[in-house]
Amino acid sequence: MARLKIDFGIDLGTTNSAIAVMENGKTKVFKNEVNGETTPSSVTVTKKGFQVGVKSFAQFPVDKRRAFNKPDFQSNIFTEFKRTMGNAVQHTTLKGNLSSEDLSAEVLKTLKSYVKEEDVKSAIITIPAAFEMNQISATKKAAELAGIEYVELVQEPYAAAIAYGVQSSNKNGYWLVFDFGGGTFDSALVKVSDGIIKVIDTEGDNFLGGKNLDEAIVDEIFIPYLKENFSIDFIISNSEKFNAFKEMWKPLAEDAKNQLSYKDEYSILTNLYDEYGEDDEGEEFEIDLTITREQLKKVITPFIQKAIDYCNVLLKRNNKNGQSLDELILVGGPTLSPVVREMLETQIKKPNTSVDPMTVVAEGAAIYASTINNPVENVDIDTSKVQLHIDYDSMVVGESTFITIKTKDEDRIVFAEIAREDEAFKSEKVEVNSIGEVIELHLKSEERNVFSILIYDEKGNKLECEPYNFSISEGTDVGKTVLPHTVCIEVIDKVSRKKILKPLKGLEKGKTLAATGVFNDLKNKKQIRPGMDDFIDIPIYQGEPFTKAVLNNHVSTIRITGNELPSLLAENSIANLTIEIDRSNIMTGKVNFIDIDFEMPFEVIANDSKLTEAWLKEQVEETEDNIDNLDSNRKEEFKEKLNKVKNIFETKKTESGRLEARSELQKLAKEVEQIEIQNEWPKLEETLKEEFYKLEEVNNDLGNDKTTRTVNQFRSQLEEVIKAKDAKLGNILLEEINSFFVQLTLIYQLIGFVRQHNDNFGSYNWKDSSRARTLLNKGLQIIGENPDVEELHPMVISIIDCLVDEDKPTDIFEG
């Protein structure tokens, strides 16, 4: 019998992965060939095929040693490729170049193979909350390559909250999920109301995780020890060899980190036959070193503190603190460390340790999967049985719920009743056909309710059917995921004349998915001729509104050409942009061209980003110049942060390293930019006052009761912004005041434009003076007949199109 719900959940991790299923109201984590519930995300590529998981990872330290001892050695073992998902990096293997998606697909195939009874054709796969659109698209591609026909994505901390919520008796309050994984960090603020779970907000870092701790242990403990006991100056002077040298010790560092989660100290004694190579003087490397938990604490504290700082930013942004929280939920192997738990207890709240941090994400994904209808059709249908289609919520809050039941055979009519397993409830017998019938079900509180479907013919004979049972859990509702980043487009700011991001209304960070966003009154700066190669570009970003586009994640650019338009799109024509995002963060949209009554749909296909050293170096230099020119007492702090970025850039000569450097550089550049904006506050304050007083005067002449209420709201907001000297909110308010001013005065601007160009006709340079004269006469006629914007605006656009470029207006009709 085919599954009614998706049921399968997969945690596709940087270091380890897992697969779970929801079976009879309980989660089951599938075990690998060595009886482990998690599988290393490690792939070995051979000429014959792939080896994934435990055996691959066991060979990994050996390959690291070979890479140091033999500079020309090319390892065919790949790990940590999750960090480069969605980027144009290619891994050189014995089977040719493979992308990170290709390697992830092999991990997914291996996880699927642990499910012996059936083929996993649909699944929920988890992703970090901070994943960007290109990484999200890449994850879906990996699933497709692995033969998963239908996939939805859910954020890892949300999945963890679901798993905890199902087994917790605490059905109200605020939870904080602290998800410190192998390669990424996420924090999520979750609100629970009567068992309904909802993510309020998230904060995270795609380049902060257990791998950073391993690197720090090598740098701060192993390298000093080796410097003291061996001659390694030449090795250190050769950056390529030194990188291979450090990589060789990372498996031992990871082992020490894991062991010190359970022990106060851990001794490392290398085996001579392991061949760690020789130092500058030919002495074989051998480590006999004891590391204490206190030493570990000193090394990893800065990274754990960075994660805690993210949590505090998240809490502060939502007017919360540790005392506001009811639970702090731990996710990820590093959270097993007493160091992490002690720091969290001291600074935020004592963590709840009732769930397994290694499998909680996969289990939560499976629970979420059990609430999503399975769209993959079953090909093995038993035609001797009555085939039914049922639709129901598998997790609900309340004493009753409803199920829709219908036959798949259009000509078949049967009678159905539904009985609860404990025999305390049985529905009335109702007639069911292909149109369907709704039946109310009564539930036992805080329990899994199993129901049987009983089918009869018109004579009362019992018939076999598929499906024949289902279950509903009462007490928890998984709710919905939220948007991790604000969706914006790049525009030229009217005040600063800089290219900045402006948000789509409805697609702000934290919005519940699925969601729809709009950006109205876009205007093209040049005409687009039908059938020609003329084009309009709409750059779409995810990131921080009102910041420079280059400091954020470029999702895609929607290009619309004359070949796609049915008629001439005049310069300064109005277009409205709509973008929809589904539960898995997949984007689609449409552009509605008002003046030619044409709507063009599009699909947002995320770019595979490729970072070059030259581009990154240019951005580092630009940020350095901005810091040098900054008037701020934080100048030295910013210089120190920039030095850390440079260190990442110079020492990690990989695509992952460049991505990490870019991520840290973007955060720093945004901080610098905010200081720059704040330094411009006096000028912004003056502009705000001028624009508001201008709006107030216009409203006195043209407004009504409704517009006056809006102006009064602006006055209150203006007073608050000036009091706080908040440049970011000031820019948002200025945009809203200007927009409302245009709405209030547009008809008068249009009338003035027509009259001015009529009165001074001979002063303008016309491309087509005859057509211009005709249009102006018609415009004057419209003005004389009680004009409105809808009628006059297209006329003005056509008049503008008759002007030569240097005479066209550049301010009033801009988008």
Residue from 746, 743, 722, 747 nearest 733 by CA:
722
Q: What is the pLDDT of residue 426?
A: 95
Q: How confident is the model at residue 698 (pLDDT cuts 50, 70, 90)?
A: confident
DSSP 8-state secondary structure symbol assigned to residue 580: E
- For 356-400, the DSSP string reads -TTTHHHHHHHHHHTTSB--SPPS---TTSEEEEEE--SEE-SSE
Task: Tell me the helix, strand and coil percentages in the chain, rounded to 5.
Answer: 40, 25, 35
* Mean pLDDT of the region 344-363: 95
Residue 541 has pLDDT above 90, yes or no: yes
Q: What is the pLDDT of residue 812?
A: 42
Residues 436 and 461: beta-carbon distance below 8 Å: no
Residues 423 and 383: beta-carbon distance below 8 Å: no
Least confident range from 574-588, 724-738, 761-775: namely 724-738
Q: What is the pLDDT of residue 701?
A: 80
Taking the CA atoms of the chain, what radius of gyration do you get in angstroms?
Answer: 31
Buried b (16+ CB within 10 A) or exposed e, 693-730: eebbebbeeebeeebeebbeebeebbeebbeeebbeeb
* Backbone φ and ψ of 680, nearest 5°: -90, 10
Residue 482 has pLDDT above 50, yes or no: yes
More confidently predicted of 570 and 213: 213
Q: How confident is the model at residue 494 (pLDDT cuts 50, 70, 90)?
A: low
- Distance from C-alpha of 475 to C-alpha of 444, rounded to nearest angstrom: 9
| Token pair listed for 652 | 């990690």
Q: How confident is the model at residue 481 (pLDDT cuts 50, 70, 90)?
A: confident
Q: Coil, strand, or helix at residue 770?
A: helix
- Highest mean pLDDT out of 332-341, 666-675, 788-797: 332-341
Residue 814 has pLDDT above 60, yes or no: no
Q: How confident is the model at residue 55 (pLDDT cuts 50, 70, 90)?
A: very high
Residue 731 has pLDDT above 90, yes or no: no
Residue 50 has pLDDT above 70, yes or no: yes
Distance of CA 551 to the CA centre of its chain: 16
Q: What is the pLDDT of residue 523?
A: 85
* Mean pLDDT of the region 482-508: 84
- Distance from C-alpha of 464 to C-alpha of 432, rounded to nearest angstrom: 15
Provide the β-strand partners of residue 21: 8, 28
Q: What is the pLDDT of residue 748?
A: 81
* Mean pLDDT of the region 549-577: 89
Which residues have a Cβ under 8 Å from the Cβ of 150 and sit 6 or more positions away?
Answer: 6, 121, 122, 123, 374, 375, 376
- Highest mean pLDDT out of 402-406, 685-689, 703-707: 402-406
Residue 312 has pLDDT above 90, yes or no: yes
106, with CB counted inside 10 A (0-12, 13-18, 19+), is buried
Residue 262 has pLDDT above 70, yes or no: yes
Provide the β-strand partners of residue 290: 267
357, with CB counted inside 10 A (0-12, 13-18, 19+), is buried
Residue 290 has pLDDT above 90, yes or no: yes
Q: What is the pLDDT of residue 496?
A: 63
Q: How confident is the model at residue 813 (pLDDT cuts 50, 70, 90)?
A: very low
Provide the β-strand partners of residue 405: 390, 437
Q: What is the mean pLDDT of the chain?
A: 90
Residue 743 has pLDDT above 80, yes or no: no
pLDDT tens track for 749-760: 888 889 889 988
Residue 1 has pLDDT above 70, yes or no: no
pTM: 0.81
* Mean pLDDT of the region 532-546: 90
**Half-sphere CA count of 811, side-chain side, radius 13 A:** 6
- Highest mean pLDDT out of 90-99, 113-122, 569-578: 113-122
* Mean pLDDT of the region 172-196: 93
Residue 627 has pLDDT above 80, yes or no: yes
Q: What is the pLDDT of residue 810?
A: 53
Q: How confident is the model at residue 181 (pLDDT cuts 50, 70, 90)?
A: very high
More confidently predicted of 272 and 117: 117
Distance of CA 289 to the CA centre of its chain: 42
* Mean pLDDT of the region 385-401: 92
Distance of CA 709 to the CA centre of its chain: 38
* Backbone φ and ψ of 460, nearest 5°: 90, 5
Q: What is the pLDDT of residue 723?
A: 87
* Mean pLDDT of the region 28-32: 96
Residue 346 has pLDDT above 90, yes or no: yes
Residue 46 has pLDDT above 50, yes or no: yes
Q: Coil, strand, or helix at residue 680?
A: coil
Q: What is the pLDDT of residue 631?
A: 86
Q: What is the pLDDT of residue 236?
A: 94
Provide the β-strand partners of residue 528: 569
Q: Coil, strand, or helix at residue 470?
A: strand
